[in-house]
Amino acid sequence: MYEIVKKELLAPNIVRMEIRAPRTAKSCLPGQFVIVKADEQGERIPLTICDYSREAKTVTIVFQTVGTSTKLLAEYEEGEAFFDFVGPLGCSSDLLSEPQEDLKAKKLLFIAGGVGTAPVYPQVKWLHEHGILADCIIGARNQELIILEQEMKEVAGEVFVCTDDGSLGLKGNVNDCLKYLISEKGKQYDHIIAIGPLIMMKFVCLLTKELGIKTTVSMNPIMVDGTGMCGACRLTVGGETKFACVDGPEFDGHLVDFEEAMRRQQLYRTEEGRAVLREKEGSTHHGGCGYCEET
């Protein structure tokens, strides 16, 4: 069992929990995710790691209560425990394997959209711990939904906030903010890491392609079981079939087929849609289920 050491409401329907998970805390890295199961019957929920402490043996998760399963997670209180907490899973951020001298020479910008700010934080924190300061745009619909602004300011270079309704920071979405930084503030970036809703990542990539700035995205939103078994997170990257939970979650955003990813996400939501996908794609998963020929 995995004890909830701390629970906090960051914004309406956005919960932060610190979980005692010694094995995961010992080896997890920024960019990786965990699968949480509230009780024995609970659905498996893949969540990107938001922070970890090797000393306290804890891992921090942030989630939005959108459906039955996340609502069930949010009902748990400090001192109670989750049935299962599996991880770390997926690949760590590519930045971690780049030579640090190369990273120090680059101007890095993170674009965090809404709840996507949570998986951005450990990457910016890791860079800070290694003497690298990255800038960060945090965008949300309104002031109430801006999360982790203070935490980010402690580890980032400059933090720029924007809200769709203008209630905090620049009025506009993250792309408006990026355009403003480049045209009005004379900012230049070599590499952008964008994490947020699919639609945001798609439009950020369209803009950064025009601007000629390398862009990494996190395809966590299309994951369902996080094991390579369900096939939900299948996507095309540079013409090749990939699985976000096994080969990602991060990919070169300019090579991701967002239209297909969004179409598949819609179809995967219903039994009828899943049947359409099976008909069209055959065995849609990554293999290893023991019942198919893929391994």
Of 133 and 289, CB closest to ligand FES: 289
Q: Round to whole Å and give the CA distance between 211 and 232.
A: 32
- Judged by CB under 6 A, the number of residues near ligand NAD is 22
- Are 50 and 64 in contact by the 8 Å Cβ rule? The answer is no
Note every long-range contact of 149-154, with CB atoms under 8 Å and residues 24 or more positions apart, other chains counting: 151/121, 152/112, 152/117, 152/120, 152/121, 152/124
Residue nearer to ligand FES on the CB measure, 4 or 217: 217
Euclidean distance between CA atoms 278 and 284, whole angstroms = 6
Binders of ligand FES in range 183-242 (CB under 6 A): 223-233
Residue 148: which of 55, 7, 50 has the closest Cα?
50
Phi-psi region of 131 (alpha: psi -120 to 50; beta: other; left: phi over 0): left
Distance of CA 98 to the CA centre of its chain: 20
> Do 117 and 110 meet the contact criterion of CB atoms below 8 Å apart?
no
Using the rule CB under 6 A, which residue among 30, 31, 90, 114 binds ligand NAD? 114
φ/ψ (deg, to 5) at 111: -115, 115
Does position 47 interact with ligand FES (CB under 6 A)? The reply is no
Please tell me whether residue 164 binds ligand NAD under the rule CB under 6 A.
Answer: yes
Query: Residue 94 touches which of ligand NAD, ligand FES, none (CB < 5 to 8 A by kind)?
Result: none
Q: If contact means CB under 5 to 8 A according to the sort of partner, which of ligand NAD, ligand FES, none does residue 30 touch?
A: none
What interhelical angle do 174-183 and 198-211 show, nearest 10?
Answer: 20
Nearer to ligand NAD, 55 or 184 (CB): 184
What tokens were used for 82? 């989750």
The smaller minimum CB distance to ligand NAD, of residues 116 and 122, is found at 116
Residues numbered 110-149 forming contacts with ligand FES, rule: CB under 6 A? none
Binds 221: which of ligand FES, ligand NAD, none (CB < 5-8 Å by kind): ligand NAD
Residue 203 contact among ligand FES, ligand NAD, none, beta carbon within 5 to 8 Å by kind: ligand NAD
- State which of residues 46, 88, 90, 119 lies at the interface with ligand NAD (CB under 6 A): 119
Using CB atoms within 10 A of its CB, is residue 290 exposed (0-12), middle (13-18) or buried (19+)? exposed
Could you tell me the smallest distance in angstroms from the CB atom of residue 19 to ligand FES? 21
By CB under 6 A, tell whether 174 contacts ligand NAD: yes
Quickly list DSSP for 67-123.
SHHHHHHHH--TT-EESEEEEEESPPPGGGGS-HHHHHHS-EEEEEEGGGHHHHHHH
Nearer to ligand NAD, 3 or 176 (CB): 176
Under rule CB under 6 A, residue 9 binds ligand NAD: no
Which residues contact ligand FES (rule: CB under 6 A)?
Answer: 223-233, 243-245, 285-286
Which residues contact ligand NAD (rule: CB under 6 A)?
Answer: 48, 113-116, 119, 139-141, 164, 173-175, 195-197, 199-200, 203, 218, 220-221
